[in-house]
Amino acid sequence: MIDLFDKHKPMVERRDAMIAAGVEPFGLTIEEFVTPTLGIIQGRQTILAGTNNYMGVTFEKQCIEAGKKALDDYGTGTTGSRVANGTYKLHKQLEAEIARFMDKKHCIVFSTGYTANVAMMAGLAGPRDTIYLDSDSHASIYDGCAVSGARLVRFRHNNAADLAKRLERNKDSSGGQLVVLEGMYSMLGDRAPIADFIELKKKYGFQLLLDEAHSFGVLGPNGRGAAEEAGCYDEADFIVGTFSKSCGAIGGFGVGNHPMFEAIRLASRPYVFTASPSPASVATTLEAVRLLAREPERRDRLRENADRLFNGFKGLGLELGCDVSSPVIAVKCPDEEAAVGIWKGLLESGVYVNIALPPGTPGNECLLRCSVSCAHSFEEIDKIIELFGDVFGQFQGASQPGRE
């Protein structure tokens, strides 16, 4: 009989080879926090530049107090799904707050951002429908498509002309058509050209879902995301977001103005058949969203920090994943060995970034991905630039032919 684990052997061997070389990039442990942007890793003070804590809210006093109060008032967990015993006053308050923040009529809160995508897509589309996905979509979007049972059509990343071709081929289909985009893509930090896709929407009449996981609270004058930043906020039918990044908590949401939006609560298995988010995470999120609404200057500061890091990396001549500044800045490495070596060198020098390797990366690139926080000081940003310069320099020096 075949062992079900056999198929994982190549992946395990690849990881074991990294561990043998003294690197374990996928199981890194943060031992303590000194500040939201400074942690202790392997016993050393380390600047955290790979946490998605864009708005720096993880240690905000009012969020922590609200979480503690929710533990006291509501207990540790809900022990059930939203449709059974798992709807508390706090869930309703959070839905009302997000609807207000996003300026949409309806909001449903889910247990994670992953679940929010799967639940929204499975609630909207079914086996007779077609879902069009950008090829660089996050795993939760692909999984949402699989759970929905809809036909999957992929189009080239950020390429509205390629989507148009596929819509044209399918224009006589009798089922519904859903296009899913991410506002800002998580690996390279590039934005979707949303206005181009809206033009197609006018012509073909599909419904549009935007995953603003990395841009909710982060981009746009009111923090509503990349569509708001691009000036076409009202054209998206549905927006999904997560609380695990800008809100420093866990959970996700879907919003929209469709008069039948609430049907998702009944039609979507990932909403019906999982426990609702715990009182403490709902309460901390509620405070975080209020804070993001109250303090737009956090978004200004994040932009300044992102520009500073982007320009610093450009100054070093590094090859970046995206040619405009963004809170996600990915640096391309020539190959896996270089990426792993540089990642390790950076960590040992005191900066933690994410490493992303094929097959899970756009264009199968080997990437060192930084996420910028509004809580980073300019000194921290400058230190990150300096360390990238040093470690890339050492690596390039070591790989020059003829050098020892």
Using CB under 6 A as the binding rule, whether residue 252 contacts ligand PMP is answered as yes
- How far apart are CB 319 and ligand PMP at their closest, in Å? 22
- How far apart are CB 217 and ligand PMP at their closest, in Å? 13
Amino acid identity for residue 228 in this structure: E
CA distance 238 to 230: 16
Binding mask 306-345 for ligand PMP (x = CB under 6 A): ----------------------------------------
Q: Which is nearer to ligand PMP, 97 or 344 (CB)?
A: 97
Q: Which is nearer to ligand PMP, 184 or 391 (CB)?
A: 184
User: Of residues 160, 213, 247, 280, which one binds ligand PMP by CB under 6 A?
Assistant: 213
Which residues, in sequence order, are CB contacts of 275 under 8 Å at separation 6+? 77, 78, 79, 80, 81, 86, 111
| Other beta carbons within 10 Å of 293 | 14
Q: Which is nearer to ligand PMP, 283 or 385 (CB)?
A: 283
Q: Angle at which helices 378-398 and 297-316 pack, to 10 degrees?
A: 20
**What residues between 160 and 189 interact with ligand PMP by CB under 6 A?**
182, 186
Q: Which is nearer to ligand PMP, 247 or 318 (CB)?
A: 247
Using CB under 6 A as the binding rule, whether residue 110 contacts ligand PMP is answered as no
Using CB under 6 A as the binding rule, whether residue 67 contacts ligand PMP is answered as no
Using CB under 6 A as the binding rule, whether residue 101 contacts ligand PMP is answered as no
Number of residues forming the site for ligand PMP (CB under 6 A): 14
| Cα distances (angstroms) measured from residue 366 to each of 6, 171, 354 | 26, 38, 11
Q: Angle at which helices 61-74 and 279-294 pack, to 10 degrees?
A: 150
Which residues, in sequence order, are CB contacts of 178 under 8 Å at separation 6+? 121, 124, 125, 129, 130, 131, 132, 150, 206, 207, 208, 209
Q: Which is nearer to ligand PMP, 338 or 370 (CB)?
A: 370
| Cα distances (angstroms) measured from residue 70 to each of 3, 96, 283 | 46, 18, 6
- How far apart are CB 247 and ligand PMP at their closest, in Å? 10
**Which DSSP category does 242 fall into?**
E
User: Of residues 158, 242, 268, 284, which one binds ligand PMP by CB under 6 A?
Assistant: 242
Using CB under 6 A as the binding rule, whether residue 190 contacts ligand PMP is answered as no
Using CB under 6 A as the binding rule, whether residue 140 contacts ligand PMP is answered as yes
Side by side, the strands of the sheet bearing 366-371 are 328-333, 366-371, 354-356
Using CB under 6 A as the binding rule, whether residue 274 contacts ligand PMP is answered as no
- Say if residues 371 and 327 touch (Cβ distance below 8 Å): yes
Nearest alpha carbon to residue 110 among 224, 353, 349, 273: 273
Q: Which two tokens stand for residue 266?
A: 């009944």
- How far apart are CB 7 and ligand PMP at their closest, in Å? 25
Which residue is closest to ligand PMP by CB?
Answer: 113
- How far apart are CB 348 and ligand PMP at their closest, in Å? 26
Q: Return residues touching ligand PMP (CB under 6 A).
A: 112-114, 117, 138, 140, 182, 186, 211, 213-214, 242, 244, 252
